[in-house]
Chain A
Amino acid sequence: MADVLNVVKREQTGSTASRRLRLSGQVPAVLYGHGQDNQHLAIPKADVRLLLRHHGKMVELKGAVKETALVSELHWDPLGIEVLHMDLQRVDLNERVEVTVPIHIHGEPAGTREGGIFLENQHQIDITCSAGNIPENVVMHVADLHVGANLTAADLELPEGVELISPPELVVCTVAAPKGSQSDDEAEANIGAEPEVISKGGDGDGDKE
């Protein structure tokens, strides 16, 4: 169930060493938790890619460290292409953890057949569960959702042993009535208009023309 990551310890830390590590096809990571010392690790990029493809949360570390860990945070580059750094948290498989899992929409809403637009307001939800039983996703059945209606976090089908952290009244999805086509002439009417200038201490326009 848990993905396996082959890790090696890294001696050098800091931005220069991390950049060199990334160039050599590895991703820097840190392992922490349970009151033990932090450990600086390096993980092969291929393993990280595989983990991302599986949307895995729990990982089994092999190599320099033999532990079970939870992927606590991923640091991406600004374009969202490469993972720059991974945070791994030591966990016991029986201990309860707080995780964010994706919401899986099941079925076709009745409202879409009535002409409505199905909208997902929340794509993921915060739950608490045992580290060994983190669900891949949480299912939401939307077949009975009509136009104008919505489903909340309380309507999610939670597996056994999973508790919701997010507020139950949080709207997860809705079917909105389709909007009529907007008039493009409004733009023409607005050309030449200027925004109001916030003046210093006065009511009128404060800046000089």
Chain B
Amino acid sequence: MALMPKRVKHRKSQRGRIKGSATRGNTVVFGDYGIQSLDAGWVKATTIEAGRIAAQQYVRGEGKLYIRIFPDKSVTSTPLETRMGKGKGEPDFWAAVVKPGTIMYELGGVTEQQAKVCFARLASKLPVKVRFVERRPA
């Protein structure tokens, strides 16, 4: 199922600007290994889903995959061959706002080698530069 919020306060949002690094959601919490963003950007709901499928095909039946980002920002677009003006376009897709440091996916119940291969497959789907991280010891 494509990820999107169930209820929203406003259908359309302003584009905004991504400043700084992630100060929340920047540690591996649920699994043993994670994939951390090194760039800022928008990750579409369809891209998150593509990453999930790529990872789950590899770890099927073994590990557990956690998705740590959620597309809660609607992005609008104006249809092609439309004259300028006439107001803001209609929502086109949903995206998650990702800052440098954000843990995007986590994996538990697999070996480090398996996690690295799995995340390498997943990383090829993502529009941001990422790195492999382990859970920080207590």
The chain A residues found within 8 Å of chain B, CB to CB, are 52, 55, 76, 78-80, 100-102, 115, 117-120, 123-124, 176, 178, 181, 184, 186-187, 190-191, 193-198, 207
Q: Give B76-106 interface residues, CB cut-off 8 Å to A.
A: 91, 100-101
* A78-B22, A117-B62, A186-B1 as given contacts; A100 in contact with B7, CB under 8 Å: no
Using CB atoms, name the residue of chain B closest to A103. B138
Contact call B138/A78, Cβ cutoff below 8 A = no
Contact call A198/B109, Cβ cutoff below 8 A = no
Contact call B5/A187, Cβ cutoff below 8 A = no
Contact call B108/A120, Cβ cutoff below 8 A = yes
Using CB atoms, name the residue of chain B closest to A55. B137
Using CB atoms, name the residue of chain A closest to B133. A80
Can you list 9 A-B pairs with a CB-CB distance of less than 8 A?
A55-B137, A78-B100, A79-B100, A117-B61, A117-B63, A124-B138, A190-B1, A195-B6, A197-B9
Contact call B109/A194, Cβ cutoff below 8 A = no
Determine the distance from Cα of A52 to Cα of B53 in the docked complex, in whole angstroms: 35
A residues in contact with B63, CB < 8 Å = 117
Determine the distance from Cα of A146 to Cα of B130 in the docked complex, in whole angstroms: 36
* A78-B22, A181-B60, A187-B49 as given contacts; A102 in contact with B2, CB under 8 Å: no
Determine the distance from Cα of A184 to Cα of B52 in the docked complex, in whole angstroms: 11
Size range of the interface on B? Answer: 35 or more
B residues in contact with A100, CB < 8 Å = 138
Contact call A80/B101, Cβ cutoff below 8 A = yes
Determine the distance from Cα of A186 to Cα of B53 in the docked complex, in whole angstroms: 13
B residues in contact with A194, CB < 8 Å = 11, 91
A-B pairs with lowest CB-CB distance, top 7: A78-B21, A124-B138, A78-B101, A102-B138, A196-B7, A100-B138, A186-B1
Contact call A119/B108, Cβ cutoff below 8 A = yes
B residues in contact with A78, CB < 8 Å = 21-23, 26, 100-101
The answer to whether the Cβ of B136 comes within 8 Å of any Cβ in the partner chain is yes
The answer to whether the Cβ of B125 comes within 8 Å of any Cβ in the partner chain is no
Determine the distance from Cα of A191 to Cα of B3 in the docked complex, in whole angstroms: 10
Closest chain-A Cβ to B54's Cβ sits at a distance in Å of: 12
Closest chain-B Cβ to A77's Cβ sits at a distance in Å of: 8
Contact call B8/A178, Cβ cutoff below 8 A = no
Query: Within the complex, which residue of B5, B53, B91, B135 is in contact with A123, where a contact is CB–CB below 8 Å?
Result: B135
The answer to whether the Cβ of B17 comes within 8 Å of any Cβ in the partner chain is no
Contact call B26/A195, Cβ cutoff below 8 A = no
A residues in contact with B27, CB < 8 Å = 80
B residues in contact with A198, CB < 8 Å = 7-9
A residues in contact with B4, CB < 8 Å = 193, 195
Closest chain-A Cβ to B105's Cβ sits at a distance in Å of: 16
